[in-house]
Chain A
Amino acid sequence: MPPTYFYVVLRRSLGFWIGLRLLLLVVVLGIVSGGGASAIDVTGALASPGTSMSMIPATVGLLLFDARTAGEDLLLANFGYSRTQVALRAVILPAIGEALVLLTMAGR
């Protein structure tokens, strides 16, 4: 894959991952504040921000969808690059991010 597009994929995947993480945080905070008012058990919700591995496939899925809507799938395919190759590169930064989150949680 050309270096230029590799950096584009890395930048986008990091952006989507941070975006999804922030979204999750907002959802969890919403559940926690709602739970406090209605006495719902929020133990699971409090634990989820640090342990949600679904963030990685969600990030990759979003990135592939975004690339498709931007018309990049055919552009890449014309130069011999498959979606799998893009997905493999898109997984790098979210995986590192999740690993760091896990390590941080484990260190508490």
Chain B
Amino acid sequence: MARQFGERKVLTAATVHVHPGRITLLMGRNGCGKSTLLKLIVGTVRSDFGTVHFNQRMYLRPQLHLLARRGLFYIPERGLPSRYLTLEQNLSMSRVPVNDPRMQQILHDLALGHLLSSFGTQLSGGERRLTDIALCMLKQPLCLLADEPFQGMAPIDGERIARALHTLRDNGTAILVTGHEVNALFEVADEVVWMTGGTTHLLGSVAQARANDQFRREYLGGRDPAGTR
């Protein structure tokens, strides 16, 4: 896919494949076009050219509600919960009753049970992120695109999100996540795609990405991916 904003070519030829039961990590410097690529995929931003192939269909002009009907779920950077609805009303979009055992389990796992009557405006950034994941788990999508799911998360909530992503992956969901939280993301990812210069490079497994000199030099900035210098 490609996209140019005015004179600025953000994406020139970006390609990403996601596979059932695998977590693909899309990494790159700020402003390199990670979020833009996700927006192009779900159609909230129009691409200059490129196609989306999903669940045996090709989309020239993808629209999120059509992709969603085929099993896609998209978590934008700003999160999903409506400011004017309570958490319970937000979760009711999934049509799963609040007293359903599956709902109860998800609320317990993500520690959201005590917030059911809170409005979207009353949720913290982390709670909104957990709500995004709860909505996704209630839908049980074939494919999840999550833009910076670990951003601003406390370590314990980051662990909850990681466990949820693993559960989704183990249930066969194809997952694409972006972000800069190297340690947390490397822990959940099965493969790494590096975005730079308007295009994408498949680096392979996390171990292969760690071993890639250019990736280490130009993205990690000399930091050891294990978290120590």
Which residues of A approach B to under 8 Å, CB–CB?
2, 4-5, 8, 67, 70-72, 74-82
Contacts and interface: CB of A to CB of B under 8 A. Distances in A.
A67 B80 CA distance: 12
A75 B216 CA distance: 36
Interface string B63-91: 11100110001101011111111000110
A71 B73 CA distance: 15
B135 interface: yes
> B interface, how many residues as a size bin?
20 to 34
Given A8-B85, A71-B81, A80 B92 contact: no
B94 interface: yes
Nearest to B71: A80
B65 A82 contact: yes
Given A71-B81, A72-B85, A75-B93, 11 more contacts: A4-B89, A4-B92, A5-B89, A5-B92, A5-B93, A71-B78, A75-B82, A77-B74, A78-B64, A78-B74, A80-B68
B166 interface: no
Contact of B95 (A2, A8, A72, A75): A2
B83 A70 contact: yes
Contacts of A4: 89, 92
A76 B93 contact: yes
A71 B80 CA distance: 7
Contact of B82 (A71, A77, A79, A80): A71
B139 interface: yes
A79 B139 contact: yes
B123 to A, nearest CB: 12
Contacts of A70: 82-85, 120
B78 A76 contact: no
Nearest to B85: A8
Nearest to B90: A75
B212 interface: no
Contacts of B135: 75, 78
B89 A74 contact: no
B92 A78 contact: no
A70 B95 CA distance: 20
A78 B78 contact: no
A108 B201 CA distance: 73
